[in-house]
C-alpha cells in the first residue's frame, strides 16, 4: 500500500503520519518526489489502520498496490529514478551508451577500446573480467588482473566503468574499483547475489534472465530495492524462444511495457540479444525509438580475434558511425527531452 502525502503538508504533519504508521509495526519506505512525498508501506495493513491513516490531514490518498512487486512499481514511486554517475544522468529521458569488449583480454586491448569509447561520445566503459561461460573450457576472464586494467582505462579516459560479478564475495572486492556492478542474465535469480548487492551503495545493472518473465525480472529488482539499494538499472538482453536464427529474441515490447510498470531505467543490449553484429545498429536505434534509457554494446578492435562474443562485436568504425546516427536520431525521437 502507498500513502501519498499532500504537497502542502508540513514536516510536522508528515512526521505525525509516519509515527502513527510505525507505531503499528509497519515498515515504511519513504520516497521523496519532486511534488509529493510517498510512503510505501511494507506488510499487511488492516482496514481500521487504513481508515485511521487516511484521516490524517497530511494524507492526500491511499493506493493499494496489487502487484507482487512493490518498491519497483510505478504506483509506489510515480517519478522516474535517475542514477548519477560522474555527472552523467541515467534515466528520465537521457540515452546512455555503455560500450566495450565482452571481456577484458589484455591491458593494451582495454586501453585502446576505452579510447574509442571516449572518442565516440559514449558514456560508460564495459568489460568482463569474471566471465560466465557456458563451457568450462572457454576463456573465463582475466579476473583481478583484468579489473586492474579496466581501472587503469577509467583513470586514463575518465570514463566510468561497469563489470559483471558472479558471486557475493567478488562484489566486495570489485565494488571499490567500478561505478556500476553488473548482474548477468544467468544470475538474475541468484538471490544471495541480489541480497548482497542490495546491501551495497553502488549502482547495479540487472540483466533479464534469458527465461525470465517480466514479473520475475521486476521481482529480482525488488530484491535489490528491498535490501536498500534503489540505484538499479534494468537491462533487456533478449529471451529464448523457438527461433534459432539469432542468439536470443530481443523483447522490445517488454521495454515499452516495463516503462509503464516501473520507475527504474531500462536499457537494451542488442549484442547479446542477437549474437550478430549486423543486427546491433538497427536494434540500438529501435531501442532509442521504443523509449529505452540507453544501450549496452560490445565492441572490439579485431572481433575475429576476440576471446569471446566476436561475432556480435562491432568494429570501432561501425560503432562510431552508430554513435553519430544515434546522436542525429535523438532529437527527432525524443522531442521532449534536452
Task: Return residues touching ligand PEP (CB under 6 A).
Answer: 102, 128, 132, 164, 184-186, 207, 237, 269, 272
Shortest spacing between CB 132 and ligand PEP, in angstroms:
6
Shortest spacing between CB 165 and Mn ion, in angstroms:
15
Q: Residue 112: is it exposed, middle or buried by C-beta count within 10 angstroms (0-12/13-18/19+)?
A: middle
Residue 18 contacts which entry, Mn ion, ligand PEP, none (Cβ below 5-8 A, type-dependent): none
Shortest spacing between CB 265 and Mn ion, in angstroms:
21
User: Please, which residue, 154 or 237, has the CB nearer to ligand PEP?
Assistant: 237
Nearest to 215, CA basis, from 281, 262, 182: 262
Sign of the C-alpha dihedral, residues 20, 24, 30, 33?
negative
Q: Is 235 in the site for Mn ion (CB under 5 A)?
A: no
Any idea what the Cα angle at residue 165 is, between residues 203 and 103, rounded to 5°? 105
Instruction: Identify the residue among 102, 171, 183, 292 touching Mn ion (CB under 5 A).
Output: 102
Distance CA 236, CA 206 (A): 9
Contact 252, 268 (CB under 8 A): yes
Give the range of 97-105, 213-221, 228-236, 315-323 binding Mn ion by CB under 5 A.
97-105
Residue 168 contacts which entry, ligand PEP, Mn ion, none (Cβ below 5-8 A, type-dependent): none
Each residue 262-301 as x (binds Mn ion by CB under 5 A) or -, in order, gives ----------------------------------------
Beta pairing partners, 266? 234
User: Please, which residue, 200 or 205, has the CB nearer to ligand PEP?
Assistant: 205
Nearest to 209, CA basis, from 223, 198, 199: 223
Q: Is 309 in the site for Mn ion (CB under 5 A)?
A: yes
Distance CA 103, CA 163 (A): 9
User: Please, which residue, 55 or 134, has the CB nearer to ligand PEP?
Assistant: 134
Q: Which residues contact 258 (CB under 8 A, 6 or more apart)?
A: 214, 217, 218, 234, 236, 266
Per rule CB under 5 A, count of chain residues that contact Mn ion: 2
Nearest to 256, CA basis, from 276, 231, 279, 286: 286
Residue 184 contacts which entry, ligand PEP, Mn ion, none (Cβ below 5-8 A, type-dependent): ligand PEP
Task: Point out which residues bind Mn ion (CB under 5 A).
Answer: 102, 309
Amino acid at each position: 500500500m502507498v500513502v501519498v502525502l499532500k504537497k502542502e503538508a508540513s514536516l510536522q504533519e508528515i512526521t505525525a503520519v509516519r509515527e502513527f504508521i510505525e507505531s503499528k509495526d509497519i515498515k515504511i519506505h519513504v520516497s521523496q518526489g519532486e511534488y509529493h512525498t510517498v510512503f510505501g508501506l511494507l506488510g499487511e495493513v488492516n482496514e481500521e489502520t487504513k481508515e485511521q491513516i487516511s484521516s490524517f490531514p497530511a494524507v492526500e490518498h491511499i493506493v493499494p498496490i496489487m502487484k507482487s512487486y512493490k518498491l519497483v512499481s510505478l504506483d509506489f514511486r510515480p517519478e522516474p529514478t535517475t542514477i548519477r554517475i560522474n555527472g552523467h544522468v541515467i534515466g528520465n529521458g537521457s540515452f546512455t551508451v555503455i560500450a566495450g569488449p565482452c571481456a577484458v583480454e589484455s591491458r593494451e586491448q582495454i586501453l585502446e577500446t576505452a579510447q574509442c569509447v571516449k572518442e565516440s561520445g559514449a558514456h560508460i566503459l564495459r568489460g568482463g573480467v569474471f566471465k560466465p561461460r557456458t563451457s568450462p573450457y572457454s576463456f573465463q576472464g582475466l579476473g583481478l588482473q583484468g579489473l586492474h586494467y579496466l581501472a587503469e582505462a577509467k583513470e586514463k579516459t575518465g570514463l566510468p566503468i561497469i563489470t559483471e560479478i558472479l558471486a557475493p564475495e567478488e562484489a566486495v572486492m570489485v565494488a571499490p574499483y567500478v561505478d556500476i556492478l553488473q548482474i548477468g542474465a544467468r544470475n538474475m535469480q541468484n538471490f544471495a547475489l541480489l541480497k548482497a548487492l542490495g546491501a551495497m551503495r553502488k549502482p547495479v545493472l540487472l540483466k533479464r534472465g534469458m527465461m525470465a518473465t517480466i514479473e520475475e525480472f521486476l521481482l529480482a529488482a525488488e530484491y535489490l530495492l528491498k535490501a536498500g539499494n534503489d540505484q538499479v538499472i534494468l537491462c533487456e538482453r533478449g529471451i529464448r524462444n523457438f527461433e534459432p536464427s539469432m542468439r536470443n529474441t530481443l523483447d522490445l515490447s517488454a521495454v515499452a511495457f516495463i516503462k509503464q510498470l516501473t520507475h527504474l531505467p531500462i536499457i537494451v543490449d542488442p549484442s547479446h540479444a542477437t549474437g550478430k553484429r549486423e543486427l546491433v545498429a538497427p536494434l540500438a536505434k529501435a531501442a532509442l525509438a521504443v523509449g529505452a534509457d540507453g544501450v549496452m554494446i560490445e565492441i572490439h578492435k579485431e572481433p575475429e580475434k576476440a576471446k569471446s562474443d566476436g561475432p556480435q562485436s562491432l568494429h570501432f568504425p561501425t560503432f562510431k558511425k552508430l554513435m553519430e546516427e544515434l546522436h542525429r536520431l535523438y532529437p527527432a525521437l525524443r522531442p521532449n527531452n534536452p
